[in-house]
């Protein structure tokens, strides 16, 4: 705060408190220390902003009742403020603002919407967060280069030297197979860079385009490369490490962040969503990618997404870390652990099968040959175990309860797994098994424990130790029982990676 404003504040304070303010002649003044003159904060540089991008703990955001462009047409500052408070508690340092030309006005901006954007930036700052801008969403007028630049320039002018805005994504999930889009990208990048040399620029591609899509952007923009790549990862989380490394190799040496990742809880359980995000965070960290942005903060209420292709996809309403009623899903604790550097929730993998229904990452495998279910009929510890009874077997294998570890999987890695099992008139083969797969989901091999003795047995520890084959990208753990006319139970898992 400048000294003159500081002195004015002192005068005002004495008046408000009812105290006299006496101006003593300078020659009679007692020498006092001179207050330091406040200096303006250093202007952001490309390097400082890019460093912030690479470390950003970014939350993708629309309000639960106003998704996509409705966030701006139905803008509610109080709702945004409450949601940013939630993101702050999770440990977020950055919020993403997605800007729609059709809503904000194209080619002429509507002041009412730029004012809403400014309010969003202010609210983010209030909660200790900076902002990433995504421009030109839901837009495809690629022949209008001059209007495109003028529009972007008018959006960005107020934030040229504002450290609260750390990057500009020129278009969300850019269509790398559209020739017109590529021509536009080649022209818009140098125009924006010349006007905003200290602002990192990027494009993202959709999950299907993946690393190959980023490679096409890199090839098209050789003359004017972007500053970093924004990878949207919705693939199999069990193979996240190898997939992320492949993407990194494609764009190297340019930095990369994961700008979106998540799993919906309409087609999957909340336990599976939590495990998915934990795997992606862990794999990204192992690969050297420090910025992972979950999609999205909240689920979306019916009718909250504008009439569009995405609005007609039921699963799109269920990617949130929070439900529409504001309560947290298990995934929220995972994100908070990742962003604050604390331990992942102890219940994440449900090794003792004590989690409530829907909060386990485990899934039944080949249930048509025998349904693996949680039960309270037997438990070695706690109240629950998993049981299989009257099972069959086929060329595809034996029915089982299966899960993938959180730790990334790679070639020649040592693994140890164990479980306690007991049987009642059991027959067939009951084991704990490990199975490895390559990046294309091809089975590479497996290893199994000794078989639980047939008949009726007490709790018996089954263990397996093995090394992942060359080319391994994922691993599954199976608690299986095939051709069993009796019943078996499993409890108290332990899995470690060497």
What CATH number corresponds to the domain at position 442?
Answer: 2.60.120.260
Q: How confident is the model at residue 35 (pLDDT cuts 50, 70, 90)?
A: low
CA distance linking residue 129 with residue 90, whole number of Å: 12
| Local confidence band at 38 (pLDDT 50, 70, 90 cut-offs) | low
Separation between Cα atoms, residue 98 and residue 131, nearest integer Å: 10
pLDDT exceeds cutoff 50 at 142: yes
Of 289, 309, 340, the one marking the end of a domain is 340
- Same domain? For 269 and 176 the reply is yes
pLDDT tens per residue, range 238-286: 999 999 999 999 999 999 999 999 999 999 999 999 999 999 999 999 9
Structure tokens of 297? Answer: 């903060």
Are residues 372 and 312 both part of a single domain? no
Phi, then psi, of 314 in degrees rounded to 5: -55, -40
Cα–Cα distance list, 387 to 77, 168, 213, 367 (Å): 51, 52, 45, 12
Q: SS3 helix, strand, coil % of the chain, rounded to 5? A: 35, 20, 45
| Whether residue 151 sits in one domain with residue 99 | yes
In a shared domain, residues 227 and 87: yes
3-state secondary structure of 245: helix
DSSP letter at 332 equals: H
Q: Are residues 403 and 471 in the same domain?
A: yes
Taking only Cα atoms into account, the Rg of the chain, rounded to an integer number of angstroms, comes to 28
Statement to judge: residues 279 and 369 lie in one domain: no
Do 125 and 206 share a domain, yes or no? yes
Total domains in the fold of the chain = 2
What are the structure tokens assigned to 292, written together?
A: 């992972």
Residue 357 domain-assigned (yes or no)? no
Neighbouring CB atoms inside 10 A of 124's CB total 27
Nearest to 137 by CA among 103, 187, 177: 103
For residues 281 and 90, is the Cβ–Cβ distance under 8 A? no
Write down the pLDDT at residue 27.
43
What pLDDT score does 260 carry? 98
Helix/strand/coil for 115: helix
pLDDT for 26 beyond 50: no
Q: Given a cut of 80, is residue 328 above it in pLDDT?
A: yes
Whether 30 is covered by a domain: the verdict is no
Find the domain containing 457 and state its range. Answer: 363-497
Q: Which of 265, 287, 266 is nearest to 275 (CA)?
A: 265
In a domain, 358, yes or no: no
Confidence of residue 206 (pLDDT cuts 50, 70, 90): confident
Task: Say if CB 267 and CB 259 are below 8 A apart.
Answer: no
- Kindly tell me if the per-residue pLDDT of 78 is higher than 80: yes
Cβ-Cβ contacts under 8 Å for 81 (sequence gap 6 or more)? 123, 126, 127
The answer on 377 and 438 residing in a single domain is yes
Looking at the structure, do residues 256 and 133 belong to the same domain, yes or no? yes
Give buried/exposed letters for 327-337 (b at 16+ CB in 10 A, else e). ebbbbbbbbbb
SS3 363: strand
Structure tokens at 51: 């460093």
Q: What is the DSSP letter of 326?
A: S
Mark whether 331 and 367 lie in a shared domain: no
Predicted confidence at residue 2, as pLDDT, reads: 36
Q: 395-408: buried (b, 16+ CB within 10 Å) or exposed (e) per residue?
A: eebbbbbbbbbbbb
Q: For residue 190, is it within any domain? A: yes
Q: Give the confidence band of 36 by pLDDT, cuts at 50, 70, 90.
A: low
Report yes or no on 15 lying in a domain: no
Cα(65)–Cα(326) distance, integer angstroms: 11
On whether residue 471 sits in a domain, the answer given is yes
- Helices 179-195 and 145-156: crossing angle in degrees, nearest 10, is 40
Name the pLDDT band for 357 (thresholds 50, 70, 90).
confident
State the pLDDT at residue 12. 35
pLDDT band at 498 (very low <50, low <70, confident <90, very high): confident
Average pLDDT of every residue of the chain = 92
Spatial separation of the C-alpha atoms in residues 123 and 84, rounded to whole Å: 7
CA distance 229 to 255: 6
Q: Which of 56, 55, 68, 126 is nearest to 97 (CA)?
A: 68
Beta 130-134 vs 201-202: how paired, if at all? unpaired
Q: Is residue 246 part of a domain?
A: yes
How many CA atoms does the CB half-sphere of 276 hold within 13 Å?
24
Our measurement of the distance from residue 129's CA atom to the centroid of its chain's CA atoms, rounded to an integer in Å, reads 17
Position 356 in a domain: no
Task: Give yes or no: residues 287 and 393 share one domain.
Answer: no
Percent of the chain with pLDDT over 70: 92
pLDDT, one tens digit per residue, over 363-411 is 999 999 999 999 999 999 999 999 999 999 999 999 999 999 999 999 9
Tell how far CA 435 is from the center of its chain. Answer: 27
Domain CATH number, residue 249 = 3.20.20.80
User: Residue 61 to residues 79, 152, 241, 295: CA-CA distances in angstroms?
Assistant: 12, 21, 26, 8
Confidence check: pLDDT of 6 > 80? no
Same domain, 331 and 373: no
Q: 23-46: b or e for each residue (b if 16 or more CB lie within 10 Å)?
A: eeeeeeeeeeeeeeeeeeeeebee
pLDDT tens digits along 424-472: 999 999 999 999 999 999 999 999 999 999 999 999 999 999 999 999 9
Let me know if 491 is exposed, middle or buried by CB neighbors in 10 A (0-12, 13-18, 19+).
Answer: buried
């Amino acid at each position: 705060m400048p000294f003159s404003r500081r002195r004015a504040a002192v005068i005002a304070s004495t008046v408000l408190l009812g105290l006299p303010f006496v101006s003593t002649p300078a020659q009679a003044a007692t020498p006092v220390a001179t207050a330091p003159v406040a200096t303006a904060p250093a202007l952001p540089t490309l390097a400082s902003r890019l460093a912030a991008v690479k470390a950003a703990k970014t939350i993708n955001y629309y309000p639960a009742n106003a998704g996509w462009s409705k966030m701006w047409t139905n803008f509610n500052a109080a709702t945004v403020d409450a949601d940013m408070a939630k993101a702050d508690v999770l440990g977020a340092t950055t919020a993403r603002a997605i800007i729609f030309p059709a809503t904000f006005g194209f080619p002429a901006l509507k002041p009412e919407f730029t004012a809403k954007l400014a309010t969003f930036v202010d609210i983010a700052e209030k909660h200790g967060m900076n902002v990433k801008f995504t421009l030109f969403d839901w837009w495809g007028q690629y022949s209008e280069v001059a209007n495109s630049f003028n529009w972007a320039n008018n959006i960005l002018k107020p934030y040229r030297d504002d450290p609260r805005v750390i990057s500009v994504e020129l278009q969300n999930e850019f269509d790398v197979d559209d020739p017109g889009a590529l021509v536009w990208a080649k022209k818009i990048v140098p125009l924006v860079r010349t006007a905003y040399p200290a602002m990192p620029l990027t494009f993202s591609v959709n999950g299907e385009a993946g690393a190959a899509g980023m490679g096409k952007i890199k090839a098209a923009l050789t003359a004017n490369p972007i500053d970093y790549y924004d990878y949207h990862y919705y693939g199999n989380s069990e193979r996240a490490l190898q997939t992320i490394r492949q993407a990194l190799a494609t764009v190297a040496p340019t930095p990369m962040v994961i700008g979106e990742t998540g799993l919906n809880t309409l087609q999957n359980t909340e336990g599976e969503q939590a495990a998915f995000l934990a795997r992606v965070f862990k794999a990204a960290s192992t690969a050297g990618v420090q910025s992972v942005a979950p999609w999205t903060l909240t689920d979306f209420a019916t009718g909250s997404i504008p009439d569009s292709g995405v609005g007609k996809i039921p699963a799109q309403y269920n990617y949130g870390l929070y439900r529409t009623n504001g309560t947290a899903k298990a995934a929220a604790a995972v994100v908070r652990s990742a962003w604050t550097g604390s331990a992942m929730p102890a219940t994440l993998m449900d090794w003792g099968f004590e989690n409530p229904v829907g909060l386990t990452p485990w899934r039944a495998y080949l249930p048509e040959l025998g349904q693996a279910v949680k039960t309270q009929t037997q438990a070695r510890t706690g109240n629950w175990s998993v049981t299989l009874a009257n099972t069959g077997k086929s060329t595809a294998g034996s029915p089982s309860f299966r899960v993938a570890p959180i730790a990334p999987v790679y070639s020649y890695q040592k693994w140890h797994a164990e479980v306690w099992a007991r049987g009642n008139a059991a027959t067939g083969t009951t084991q704990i098994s490990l199975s490895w797969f390559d990046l294309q989901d091809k089975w590479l091999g497996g290893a199994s424990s000794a078989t639980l003795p047939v008949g009726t047995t007490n709790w018996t520890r089954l263990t397996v130790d093995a090394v992942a084959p060359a080319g391994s990208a994922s691993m599954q753990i199976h608690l299986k029982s095939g051709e069993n006319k009796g019943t078996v139970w499993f409890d108290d898992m332990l899995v470690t990676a060497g």
